[in-house]
Structure 1
Amino acid sequence: MAGSSGVCLGADLAENQLTEIEAARAFAQAIIDTVREPVLVLDQDLRVITASRSFYRTFKVRPEDTEGRLLYELGDGHWDIPKLRLHLEKIVPEHGVMEDFEVEYDFPNVGPRTMCLNARKVFYEKGSHTTILLGIEDVTRQRVLEREKDDLLRQKDVLLEEIQHRVANSLQIIASIILLKAKTVDSEETRVHLRDAHKRVMSVAAVQQHLHASATSGSVEMGPYLSRLCEALATSMIGENRPISLKVSGEGGSATSRQAESLGLIATELVINSLKHAFSENTKDGQITVAYDVSGTDWKLSISDNGVSEPDHVFAQPKTGLGTGIVKALAQQLDAKVETLTGPEGTTVSVTHATFLAKMPRVV
């Protein structure tokens, strides 16, 4: 009786263990089938133990043609890829993982696809056997979109290059026509206005040229940028007989291309204003200084001259000219404030962007 009881008990335990194993297997299969991407479960010899429903659906194969077969034999050998074999046979066993390995292949019944493979080695507490989980993600669409994006970016660069070239040529043509017209008109007042317009067009051309040279970096170093701009302005606007120097100072800093464009135009207008109003024909050792300083997100652009200030030279006056209006409009776009200080030593116009000013508590 005791012997038969022991046999029955052992049989019950074995049946319970078998039931638990089957339940665990069904649970694991349900998890695998829930995953949207195709998944293969391989044994240590890289033989398929099971596969997810998404694998069968994606590659249009049947379980009986997949389970129990070596990975490299699936689909008439289209998974027999040397680099994949290296990863699964050497790298995964040694490191336990394979990530983002891409396979490009013309799969039967599916067509050309780019698949991203990720593998994990599964270790068990008991027993020496291991399994490998192989996840397969179809990234064909993403790679096509990336290539299309790269093509569009290249086309954009070509178009921008063409636009820059056409803008530069157009500005040169406009400047030449204005200068030619200035030589033919009889009115001295009209001639002065035309020459002034010519200088402004040339200054815009200088800004455009320097910005185009810096466009590839995404940001513009203001020190070298203002130096090149002032060199161009000095060449085009200060005659050899005028003893006026134009220099750049300050700690410098960087700005976006859009900000640099506005700052360059502001500097140009203020330099023009100094040349027109700060110095007389008898001026000796005239000097204009362009400075740009940065502190965190705050910055200040200032143009100073040592000339004798005239009423028209004061930017703070209610009635302003074209240049003053341009400066104030550009400063407003930059969320900056324009201030003018005039004294015996000359005039300084500062354009300041200081974000902390708006955050400081008001003192009552």
Structure 2
Amino acid sequence: MILEDLYRLLRSGHVQAQGVVDTMTQPIVVLDHNLCVTNANNAFVRTFEVERDDILGESFFRLGNGQWEIADLRHLIASVIPKAAAVVGFEVTHDFPAIGQRTFLVDARRLVHPDNNSTNILILFDDVTERRRHDAEKDFIVAEARHRLRNLFAVIRAIAMQTETEDRTATEYRDIFLGRLEVTLRAQEIASSGETTDFEPLLRRSVGELGVERFHCDGPAVTLTSSKVLAVSMIFHELGTNAMKHGALSVPAGQIHVTWALEAGPRSRTYLICEWQEKNGLPVTPPKRRGYGTELIEGTSAHLGGKVELKYDPGGLTATIKIPV
């Protein structure tokens, strides 16, 4: 074989090897024994937005703004040749000069050579920025779902434990429990649909089908944060249920009128003042004992930082509810 043929063969092999490296979609660089760049593939040039000629011969740890100058990474790469070691999946998160903050997994191995005495190191970079972002989003969603499920189970347990059984049949208990559970689930749906909720639709949905044609609302537009949706729903569902069983909605002519307004309070707080008034119903007398419904209405209002006043007028129940918004 003449010298020209040997040169042609070597050149062909080099071109083919370079073609293989440039075909790789992950960024790759080759370092010599001084840890200086001897080659870089097209993916490296594109990914880090550098010129090939600007990085050839430069120390790997001086590239860019010293983005790879990490003590542990330097130590690991420096040990590849003398210890025949390999770096696998070393994670680097850095704010790179041209491409912003990215996360890479770095692999480094001795470059394979026919005589097995190569002192070059091949480094491959796997961009996992989007993968890490998706993983973080997934973890957040799973954690949020678990948190909401725990809260929901706690609410369901509280409803079950506090719904009275005395003087009630199993059917009556079931119906009351399922009604309260239904409004809880509807409220959770509403709360998860956005950061704020309009008060009037929430009020109507909380009362549900309980005498919808005899339920009248009037007041300005008010929005509630999602953290208040469940509590407010429970208050008005309880009032509506009581009206259906004992109050205005228990007779054909009975009606419910709900009016509300916003009022300035201390420390620049704004309060929703809502009045629930039952008319044309059965004569009303104060209950002989406090039931779960009364405790729920008063306790939930207090939990929100407000208060409620219940008046058992003969003409119908009046509830004045004050809630900070």
State the TM-score bracket (shorter-chain normalisation): 0.5 to 0.7
**Which residue matches 1:334?**
304
1:206 is paired with a residue whose SS is: helix
- 2:264 matched to 1:301? no
Q: Is the 8 A contact 1:337 1:351 kept in 2?
A: yes
**Aligned to 1:288, which of 251, 256, 259?**
256
Letter in 1 for 2:197: V
2:215 is paired with a residue whose SS is: strand
Indicate how the Cα distance of structure 1 residues 60 and 137 shifts in structure 2: closer, same or farther if over 3 A, else same. Answer: farther
**Which residue matches 1:258?**
227
- 2:281 matched to 1:311? no
Q: Is the 8 A contact 2:187 2:230 kept in 1?
A: no
Q: Deviations over 1:186-237 (max 9, x none)?
A: x9x544x8526623531331331242244132333322222222234448xx
Letter in 1 for 2:180: S
2:201 is paired with a residue whose SS is: helix
Instruction: Identify the range of structure 1 (144-153 vs 220-229) with the bigger mean alpha-carbon deviation.
Output: 144-153
- Distance in 2 of aligned mates of 1:224 and 1:206: 13
**Which residue matches 1:202?**
179
Instruction: Give the Å deviation of 1:338.
Output: 1.2
Indicate how the Cα distance of structure 1 residues 203 and 234 shifts in structure 2: closer, same or farther if over 3 A, else same. Answer: farther
Higher share in helix: 1
**Aligned to 1:218, which of 187, 190, 195?**
195
Q: Is the 8 A contact 1:230 1:248 kept in 2?
A: no
1:335 is paired with a residue whose SS is: coil
Q: What runs of 5+ residues in structure 1 fail to find an aligned partner?
A: 1-58, 67-73, 90-101, 120-134, 236-243, 356-364
- Distance in 1 of aligned mates of 2:198 and 2:103: 40
Letter in 1 for 2:222: G
Indicate how the Cα distance of structure 1 residues 85 and 214 shifts in structure 2: closer, same or farther if over 3 A, else same. Answer: same
Q: Is the 8 A contact 1:337 1:352 kept in 2?
A: yes
Tell me how many residue pairs correspond in the alignment: 232
**Which residue matches 1:325?**
295
- Distance in 2 of aligned mates of 1:337 and 1:309: 25
The within-5 A match list for 1:334-353 is 334-341=304-311, 346-353=316-323
Letter in 1 for 2:95: C
- Distance in 1 of aligned mates of 2:176 and 2:35: 80
**Which residue matches 1:12?**
none
**Aligned to 1:81, which of 36, 45, 54?**
45
The within-5 A match list for 1:233-272 is 233-234=210-211, 245-272=214-241
**Which residue matches 1:278?**
247
- Distance in 1 of aligned mates of 2:35 and 2:184: 69
Letter in 2 for 1:82: R
Q: Is the 8 A contact 1:211 1:261 kept in 2?
A: yes
Q: Deviations over 1:133-175 (max 9, x none)?
A: xx9977559957644421212334665798899999x99xx9x
Q: Is the 8 A contact 1:252 1:292 kept in 2?
A: no
Indicate how the Cα distance of structure 1 residues 335 and 87 shifts in structure 2: closer, same or farther if over 3 A, else same. Answer: farther
Indicate how the Cα distance of structure 1 residues 259 and 137 shifts in structure 2: closer, same or farther if over 3 A, else same. Answer: closer
- Distance in 2 of aligned mates of 1:264 and 1:114: 46
Q: How large is the Cα RMSD of the aligned pairs?
A: 5.1
- Distance in 1 of aligned mates of 2:148 and 2:292: 31
Q: Is the 8 A contact 1:252 1:294 kept in 2?
A: no
2:214 is paired with a residue whose SS is: strand
Point out which structure has higher relative CO (alpha carbons under 8 A, 6+ apart): 2
Instruction: Give the Å deviation of 1:341.
Output: 4.5
- Distance in 1 of aligned mates of 2:221 and 2:233: 13
Q: TM-score, normalised by structure 2?
A: 0.52
- Distance in 2 of aligned mates of 1:165 and 1:344: 38
Instruction: Give the Å deviation of 1:327.
Output: 1.2
1:300 is paired with a residue whose SS is: strand
Q: Deviations over 1:84-125 (max 9, x none)?
A: 447999xxxxxxxxxxxx99xxx9936564543226xxxxxx
Instruction: Give the Å deviation of 1:305.
Output: 0.9
Q: What runs of 5+ residues in structure 2 fail to find an aligned partner?
A: 1-28, 54-66, 69-73, 78-86, 106-127, 264-268
**Which structure has the larger Rg?**
1
1:251 is paired with a residue whose SS is: coil
- Distance in 2 of aligned mates of 1:112 and 1:190: 64
